[in-house]
Structure 1
Amino acid sequence: MRIAINGFGRIGRTVLRQVLTGADRDIDVVRINDIAPLDMCAYLFAWDSTFGPFPSPVTTTEGRIDVAGRSIPVSHSADLSEVDLTGVDVLLDCTGIARTSDVARRGIAAGARKVLISGPSPAAELTVVLGANDHALGDAKVVSNASCTTNALAPLAKLLHGLGGIERAHMTTIHCYTNSQPMVDAPRGDFARSRGGAQSMVPTTTSAAHLVDEVLPELAGRITGAAVRVPVASVSAVDLVAQLARPVSPEALRAAVAASEVLGWTDLPLVSSDLRARPESLVIAGPETRAVGPQVRVFGWYDNEWGFSARMLDVAALMARA
């Protein structure tokens, strides 16, 4: 599979780390595009505050990042349609700005066959979550990979609905801070989100409940959601309380999770930092899972950068084959 990465931020760089360190991935990264200077792109890839230094040297030559035996061209165009992407199977748009059709389709105008957007986007033809609705992918040209929290929640919701039938549920994501928050108090559109992300727990909203309605229409209107941003740099959690039509034991849930391609399970008393760089969409914490009759509480961890980037590559592979 031949891919290009547009936007070399948290997700773009994490995607490249997984390509270069994953022995089972046959992926050729033919181009990176980012408006930051080449030396800054290389520096931030080599020295990562969350995942640590890259395990092999990262250098630059004229217009290229050289790493792990590869030499990857880097361009710096604010308009991707000006970049030659001929021969690219899937462009991974990790800019966070592909919100309109003209921006989202710039990769196709540049020569890529398909575009996968690293977040919710109204410009996408389809929103896909692996383990939830990837069967509906078809030959869509512009696809959204939803959000990290949706990737954690939707496969769990589908699994629970199949086991016991979800009548209603509420999900709280306990989410690490992101670039959408200031590190110290500074004006933002939302008052609470204007407070320093590294100093307080901040109640806020999440798009995951709305996106689950889109990804799993059979559950539309049954799941509500909220978020609390917390002062950690990586790894978030889903806390889901669901009222089911039929009781489901933790043992039955565990057996179903074992058959999932994107969900994991742990019986260890882990904390968030233990889950860093885990590739699953969600790792359910067995000791925190409870069932009282038809009501269940499921708690799970997800690395909102590493796991989400793994799903980007998985969905891109499905798109490339279609």
Structure 2
Amino acid sequence: MTVNDDSFTNWKIREEIAESMIPLIGKLHRERDVTVLLHSRSLVNKSVVSILKTHRFARQIAGAELSVTETMPFLQALTTLDLGPSQIDLGMLATMYKADERGLSVEEFTAEAVAGATGANKIERREPRDVVLYGFGRIGRLVARLLIEKAGSGNGLRLRAIVVRGGGAQDIVKRASLLRRDSIHGQFQGTITVDEDSGTIVANGNAIKVIYADDPTSVDYTEYGIRDAILIDNTGKWRDREGLSRHLRPGIEKVVLTAPGKGDVPNIVHGVNHDTVKPEERILSCASCTTNAIVPPLKAMDDEYGVLRGHVETVHSFTNDQNLLDNYHKSDRRGRSAALNMVITETGAASAVAKALPDLKAKISGSSIRVPVPDVSIAILNLQLARETTREEVHDYLREVSLTSPLKRQIDFITAPDAVSSDFIGSRHASIVDAGALKVDGDNAILYLWYDNEFGYSCQVVRVVQHVSGVEYPTFPATAV
């Protein structure tokens, strides 16, 4: 048998194993609210090839490919346990099992590692929490996709309604079409139908009422059967407490803003300061996409090396706030054609760091350049550290952070030598460290951080909503804080 024959036979074996994993993953998700991960990447609703590619990606980070032949026994062991709602990382299980020297079987090790999600320790399944989207633009539609995707067994977040200004003929049909097809993020994964008579979009079985209103104070959500909902304002029209309080109508319990909050509105970056949200807080902000991209790695670097000062330069994709062609704009330069120019503009991300990382004493400055790409940006974080280090040390440290730290859902790591911006469309991490571009000289470190400023940020928003709604389930095996 030739090498080619061996490779093909090996592929077919792994393909068959991955295929057999799909119903096990799906059943755990639907029946027990268990999300199966691989190095923080969800395997729920993934194809055979996607599962194999996710396993192969581990090679870029951990240095060795993780095979489905290694993870399948752990998945099978999970199906035998009395699991409660949780997230379980097969990659972490396999890695930790290799390092364990006690001679335990896979079944024994798995039961011990996920004990916090079984028996008397398991979380009881909760009633679904209603969610309302106020606005249905770029972020609103991506958040909608994520909420529908995560509906799972129906015991998590449930998108009940979207609120938009009245449009013209076939308004609801056109909005459903924009949810169904996206020029950047592709087709919606599932089915969408429209009931124009009832003003409802049905996406993967989720009935979503379309409410038309020009002012938040004109809506009584209880009229639509909505109770204790979390409203996500993705219009950015109101950013202070007074303005956002307009959303606190009958049926709405909390308001989450998808833009930097002003005044005393807490700016929350999931993974960094989400645990500071007080239960009684009814209004909060998810900060900006750039703040979410730089704060987690900034915290990681400050924790290990200390940061004395820094500057962030963001090279940012253009947004709807800019003009397609030259025209009047209230802001300097943003009136010039977004599709034809690099545009110097301001960013509030640096000043927002203080809200998310109040213990960071370093002064962080920032500026931004908008460039003619529709999605994915890069933040160049130039840091003066409190001690000298080497490129190899920082490289290995950030790789380990992306794999095993509490920030592994926020920080990704890539070593691909030819990676470019479009490769990160659809990334669910807040930022991705480009290992090849990393520069370290003594006490100076320059990090290049890619981020999908639309989808990655939307994932962070949903994580915050899950947290404040009480449906953010613990991850096992647990990582040390």
Find 1:128's aligned residue among 268, 275, 279.
268
Letter in 2 for 1:74: V
CA contact (8 A) 2:241 2:265 kept: no
1:165 alignment partner in structure 2: 306
Show the 5 A alignment for 1:19-98. 19-22=147-150, 26-35=156-165, 36=167, 37-61=171-195, 62=197, 63-86=199-222, 87-98=227-238
CA contact (8 A) 2:229 2:251 kept: no
Q: What is the rounded CA distance, in whole Å, between the counterparts of 2:384 and 2:287 in structure 1?
A: 25
The secondary structure found in structure 2 opposite 1:294 is strand
- More deviation in 7-16 or 116-125? 116-125
Does 1:16 find its partner at 2:144? yes
Tell which structure's C-alpha radius of gyration is larger: 2
Distance change (3 Å), C-alpha of 1:43 and 1:123:
farther
Letter in 2 for 1:68: N
Distance change (3 Å), C-alpha of 1:131 and 1:247:
farther
Distance change (3 Å), C-alpha of 1:203 and 1:78:
same
Greater fraction strand: 1
- More deviation in 144-153 or 57-66? 57-66
The secondary structure found in structure 2 opposite 1:59 is strand
Distance change (3 Å), C-alpha of 1:162 and 1:97:
same
1:279 alignment partner in structure 2: 428
The secondary structure found in structure 2 opposite 1:11 is helix
Deviation at 1:124, TM superposition (A): 5.7
Q: What is the rounded CA distance, in whole Å, between the counterparts of 1:161 and 1:24 in structure 2?
A: 37
Show the 5 A alignment for 1:138-153. 138-139=278-279, 140-153=281-294
Q: Which runs of 4+ in 1 moved over 6 A?
A: none
CA contact (8 A) 2:240 2:265 kept: no
2:27 alignment partner in structure 1: none
Letter in 2 for 1:320: S
In structure 2, stretches of 5+ residues that fail to align are 1-128, 472-481
CA contact (8 A) 1:100 1:122 kept: yes
Does 1:213 find its partner at 2:339? no
Q: What is the rounded CA distance, in whole Å, between the counterparts of 1:23 and 1:102 in structure 2?
A: 32
Q: What is the rounded CA distance, in whole Å, between the counterparts of 1:158 and 1:90 in structure 2?
A: 28
Letter in 2 for 1:149: T
In structure 1, stretches of 5+ residues that fail to align are none
Deviation at 1:88, TM superposition (A): 3.5
CA contact (8 A) 2:181 2:188 kept: yes
Distance change (3 Å), C-alpha of 1:123 and 1:191:
closer
Q: For residues 102-139 of structure 1, give each alpha carbon's deviation from its aligned partner in whole angstroms, at most 9, with x where no partner exists.
A: 43123322321111001012266311111222121112
Deviation at 1:41, TM superposition (A): 1.4
Find 1:317's aligned residue among 438, 463, 466.
466
Greater fraction helix: 2
The secondary structure found in structure 2 opposite 1:210 is helix
The secondary structure found in structure 1 opposite 2:447 is strand
1:257 alignment partner in structure 2: 402
Q: What is the rounded CA distance, in whole Å, between the counterparts of 1:123 and 1:110 in structure 2?
A: 25
CA contact (8 A) 2:428 2:456 kept: yes
Q: For residues 226-247 of structure 1, give each alpha carbon's deviation from its aligned partner in whole angstroms, at most 9, with x where no partner exists.
A: 1110100111111111010013
The secondary structure found in structure 2 opposite 1:247 is strand
Q: What is the rounded CA distance, in whole Å, between the counterparts of 1:280 and 1:124 in structure 2?
A: 27
Deviation at 1:312, TM superposition (A): 1.0
CA contact (8 A) 2:415 2:434 kept: yes
Q: For residues 219-270 of structure 1, give each alpha carbon's deviation from its aligned partner in whole angstroms, at most 9, with x where no partner exists.
A: 3561111111010011111111101001342222322232123111011131
Q: What is the rounded CA distance, in whole Å, between the counterparts of 1:15 and 1:89 in structure 2?
A: 15
Deviation at 1:49, TM superposition (A): 1.4
Q: What is the rounded CA distance, in whole Å, between the counterparts of 1:276 and 1:88 in structure 2?
A: 34
Calculate percent identity across the aligned residue pairs. Answer: 31
C-alpha RMSD over aligned residues: 1.8
RCO higher in 1 or 2 (8 Å CA, sep ≥ 6)?
1
- More deviation in 261-270 or 141-150? 261-270
1:193 alignment partner in structure 2: 334
Deviation at 1:100, TM superposition (A): 4.1
Deviation at 1:183, TM superposition (A): 1.0
- More deviation in 31-40 or 196-205? 31-40
Q: What is the rounded CA distance, in whole Å, between the counterparts of 2:276 and 2:242 in structure 1?
A: 24
The secondary structure found in structure 1 opposite 2:131 is strand
